């Protein structure tokens, strides 16, 4: 008779223990729920813990959910993405080639029909020959176009001891021109490419028929003026990359360290797109969609960029022995100066290639110069290609 009683007592103890464990689990769930609620409370606090902040929080969560759902489609699109201009340029007769000039292997694009006047296009800082994409086909209708990657840019390969300064780069571009033609050429240069064009007009006048200088940083890239420009901050990042970037990946380094080019709000998104693109297109130049044409071309250019080029602007060696005012006075051929937008902020920092005063002074030094102002933030031929082509056509008529 004792066994059933003992069993009953055992069962009662088991039920009591189960009730205690059930109560303990319930308390743990309550604590866990309180922790989650506290986390959400803290997230709400980040947005001010107001009705408006709560609405903003819910919108962000919804957008994040949409982004996660779209991720497979984004990856698929990036796997297929290639700028359609590549095919159009090939159809128009452009080919990519390489040529060795005094130890430098120049990579360049060339249009067909060698019977037309030669036009050499010199791209800007942190870009490559493809940055002329918007105007290459229209220009090839009238001219035999050569668009090389400058030393330190694109697929042009320089010796390790190559000096990044105007004299050395200008000399190699002059010899490149002499190899492709024995006639004087038209030269259009953008940004630092405009400075190289200026050097050629002053130091190799027999090779130049006319110059088109698109937003060159005349005077503003010389010391000490460069210290008061937004470009100086980017040059500083280049100097840091030379010393600190052990990976040799300037694009990645700039994404982390150049807040002017890559504000924090867009940095993570761009980093994700670039990472996926590199995984999908191994060893290919980075090209990403979903961004502005100027930023897309800059990312492409920075993917193959040698920061020693920018470091030379930072330490002043790029313009060593190259005085802009003196060079302008030496030019005898016609010169078209194209000026984009610029402004000086409250702290005295110039944003843009040239101030109005810089442009006026440049014109005063030219014997056969004219100036056209076109509203564009940084790259006129990309942001306003029709106006660029119109100005060039009227100039060369």
Rounded Cα distance, 144 and 316, in Å? 35
Residue 183: both structure tokens together: 């006639």
What local confidence, expressed as pLDDT, does residue 138 receive?
97
Rounded Cα distance, 173 and 196, in Å? 8
Beta-carbon count within 10 A of 138 CB: 16
Average pLDDT, the chain: 86
Classify residue 215 as left (phi > 0), alpha (psi -120 to 50) or beta: left
Residue 218: both structure tokens together: 């005349």
Asked which of 2-6, 129-133, 182-186, 302-306 is least confident by mean pLDDT, the reply is 2-6
**Burial level of 117, CB count in 10 A (0-12/13-18/19+)?**
middle
Q: What's the pLDDT tens digit per position in 184-196?
A: 999 999 999 999 9
Rounded Cα distance, 288 and 274, in Å? 7
Residue 136: both structure tokens together: 């290459």
**What is the phi/psi pair of residue 99, to 5°?**
-145, 135
Q: What's the pLDDT tens digit per position in 243-291?
A: 998 788 999 999 988 877 787 767 888 888 899 888 888 888 999 888 8
5 has a pLDDT exceeding 60: no
Q: Are 195 and 217 in contact (CB under 8 A)?
A: yes
| Residue among 109, 110, 98 at smallest CA distance from 156 | 98
367 band by pLDDT with thresholds 50, 70 and 90? very high
Q: Under DSSP, is residue 22 helix (H, G, I), strand (E, B) or coil?
A: helix
Q: Are 154 and 304 in contact (CB under 8 A)?
A: yes
The whole-number average pLDDT for the span 36-57 is: 51
The whole-number average pLDDT for the span 156-174 is: 97
Residue 386: both structure tokens together: 């029709």
| Residue among 389, 322, 381, 310 at smallest CA distance from 129 | 381
| Residue among 284, 376, 310 at smallest CA distance from 338 | 376
DSSP secondary structure code for residue 228 in this structure: G
Q: Under DSSP, is residue 371 helix (H, G, I), strand (E, B) or coil?
A: strand
What local confidence, expressed as pLDDT, does residue 60 receive?
67
Structural domains for the chain: 2-77 (no CATH), 85-227+308-396 (3.40.50.1820)
381 has a pLDDT exceeding 50: yes
Residue 343: both structure tokens together: 């402004």
Rounded Cα distance, 209 and 211, in Å? 7
Instruction: Tell me the H-state helices in 47-128.
Output: 51-80, 85-91
What local confidence, expressed as pLDDT, does residue 41 receive?
45
Given strand 335-339, what is the order of strands in its sheet? Answer: 95-101, 104-110, 144-148, 118-122, 185-190, 208-214, 335-339, 369-373
| Residue among 254, 262, 266 at smallest CA distance from 302 | 254
Rounded Cα distance, 218 and 203, in Å? 17
pTM above 0.85, yes or no: no
**What is the phi/psi pair of residue 370, to 5°?**
-140, 160
């Amino acid at each position: 008779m004792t066994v059933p009683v003992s069993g009953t007592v055992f069962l009662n103890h088991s039920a009591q223990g189960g009730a205690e464990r059930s109560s303990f689990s319930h308390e743990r769930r309550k604590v866990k729920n309180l922790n989650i609620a506290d986390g959400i409370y803290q997230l709400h606090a980040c947005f001010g813990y107001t009705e408006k902040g709560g609405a903003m929080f819910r919108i962000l969560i919804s957008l994040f959910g949409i982004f996660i759902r779209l991720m497979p489609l984004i990856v698929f699109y990036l796997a297929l993405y290639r700028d359609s201009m590549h095919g159009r340029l090939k159809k128009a007769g452009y080919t990519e080639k390489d040529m060795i000039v005094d130890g430098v292997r120049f990579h360049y694009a060339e249009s067909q029909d060698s019977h037309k006047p030669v036009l050499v296009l010199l791209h800007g800082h942190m870009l490559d020959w493809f940055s002329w994409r918007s105007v290459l086909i229209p220009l090839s209708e009238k001219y035999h176009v050569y668009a090389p990657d400058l030393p330190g840019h694109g697929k042009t390969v320089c010796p390790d001891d190559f000096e990044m300064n105007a004299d050395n780069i200008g000399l190699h571009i002059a010899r490149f021109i002499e190899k492709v033609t024995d006639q004087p050429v038209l030269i259009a240069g953008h940004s630092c490419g405009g400075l190289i064009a200026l050097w050629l007009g002053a130091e190799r006048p027999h090779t130049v028929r006319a110059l088109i200088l698109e937003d060159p940083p005349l005077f503003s890239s010389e010391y000490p003026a460069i210290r008061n420009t937004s470009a100086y901050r980017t040059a500083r990042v280049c100097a840091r990359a030379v010393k600190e970037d052990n990976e040799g990946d300037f694009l990645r380094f700039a994404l982390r360290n150049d807040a002017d080019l890559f504000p924090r709000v867009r940095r993570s998104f761009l980093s994700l797109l670039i990472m996926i693109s590199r995984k999908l297109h191994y060893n290919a130049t980075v090209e990403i969609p979903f961004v502005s044409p100027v930023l897309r071309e800059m990312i492409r250019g920075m993917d193959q960029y040698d920061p020693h080029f920018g470091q030379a602007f930072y330490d002043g060696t790029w313009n060593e022995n190259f005085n802009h005012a003196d060079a302008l006075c030496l030019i005898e051929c016609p010169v078209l100066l194209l000026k984009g937008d610029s402004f000086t902020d409250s702290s005295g920092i110039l944003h843009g290639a040239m101030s109005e005063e810089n442009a006026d002074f440049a014109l005063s030094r030219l014997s056969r110069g004219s100036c056209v102002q076109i509203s564009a933030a940084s790259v006129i031929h990309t942001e306003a290609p029709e106006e660029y082509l119109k100005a060039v056509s009227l100039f060369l008529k």
